[in-house]
Structure 1
Amino acid sequence: MNMKINWDALGITASVACAIHCALLPLFLTSLPLFGVEIIDNFSFEIFMIIVAMAIGSYSFYHGFKKHHHSIVPFLLFLAGIGLLFAKQVWHEYQVWFLIPAVILIVVAHFTNYRSCRVHNHAHSDDCDH
């Protein structure tokens, strides 16, 4: 059984999970510090999540570029989104202003990469699932 991973779908999922973590988790879990759990505003955890998203996305965009569509546009959109995520860590007081466009850019980049793979490789599109 040959199991293929759709890296764009995984990237979109990671981006949405990051957005949920950053936007909704503080609303529901504001009492965690009382119990010694510091996942909210934990700099190391945030950087780790950005690096995971960057690793997944980089592989996905490299694969799409190399084997399918040869367009750098999805990767540039992705890099802009990742850049905004890092900016969110530097200018923490403006995190929502960086987070929303970052997630949008990353999701659009993955969607564009996925669609471009399908359009430019319709003859054997099952290979787009990487």
Structure 2
Amino acid sequence: MNFRINWEALGIAASVACAIHCAVVPLFITSLPLFGVNIIHNVFVEVLLLGAAFVIGFSTLWHGYKKHHHHWGTLVPFSAAMVLFTVNQFVHFPYSSFLFVVPAVALIITAHMLNHRFCRKANHCHSTDCNH
């Protein structure tokens, strides 16, 4: 039985999970303290989620880079986005979330779209005529 991981799908799923987390958590702000649960603005939970998103997303893009297109244009915007997300966790001023999160999301979407495009374009790689 040959088991293969679809890294692009896993990266997209991680990004969607992150987006759902960011959208759903505010909905539970009023109810979680009633149950004694405090995960809102919990630095440990946020850093854990950022770390997981970085590992999964970077692995996805690294797979495309290493196995298919050899183009850094996917890893740089993704890494910049993760830096923006991390800065957003530790810098707080009015509209800081808007200034950091919106560009970060745009960069992550761009990185995954470029990775998909570069992988499709390099479909010939690792055949007999491939030179790398």
- TM-score when normalising by structure 1: 0.82
Aligned to 1:112: 114
Aligned to 2:130: none
Residue by residue over 1:60-82, the C-alpha shift from the partner in whole angstroms, topping out at 9 and shown as x without a partner, is 22221122111000001101110
Q: Aligned partners of 2:3, 2:113: CA distance in 1, in Å?
A: 21
The amino acid that maps onto 1:35 is: F
**Residue among 95, 98, 111 paired with 1:96:** 98
Seq. identity, %: 52
Aligned to 1:48: 48
Q: Aligned Cα RMSD in Å?
A: 2.0
Matches within 5 A, 1:1-130: 1-93=1-93, 94-122=96-124
Q: Aligned partners of 2:81, 2:89: CA distance in 1, in Å?
A: 13
Q: Which runs of 5+ in 1 are unaligned?
A: 125-130
Q: Aligned partners of 1:18, 1:97: CA distance in 2, in Å?
A: 18
Q: Aligned partners of 1:53, 1:74: CA distance in 2, in Å?
A: 15
Q: What SS does the aligned partner of 2:113 have? A: helix
Residue by residue over 1:13-36, the C-alpha shift from the partner in whole angstroms, topping out at 9 and shown as x without a partner, is 212221222233213442202211
Q: Aligned partners of 1:91, 1:5: CA distance in 2, in Å?
A: 36
Aligned to 1:127: none
The structure with the larger Rg is 2
Moved over 4 A (4+): none
The amino acid that maps onto 2:109 is: V
Q: Which runs of 5+ in 2 are unaligned?
A: 127-132
Q: Aligned partners of 2:36, 2:72: CA distance in 1, in Å?
A: 44
Which structure: greater helix fraction? 1
The structure whose RCO (Cα within 8 Å, separation 6+) is larger is 1
Q: Aligned partners of 2:21, 2:98: CA distance in 1, in Å?
A: 12
CA distance 1:92–1:24, change in 2 (3 Å) = farther
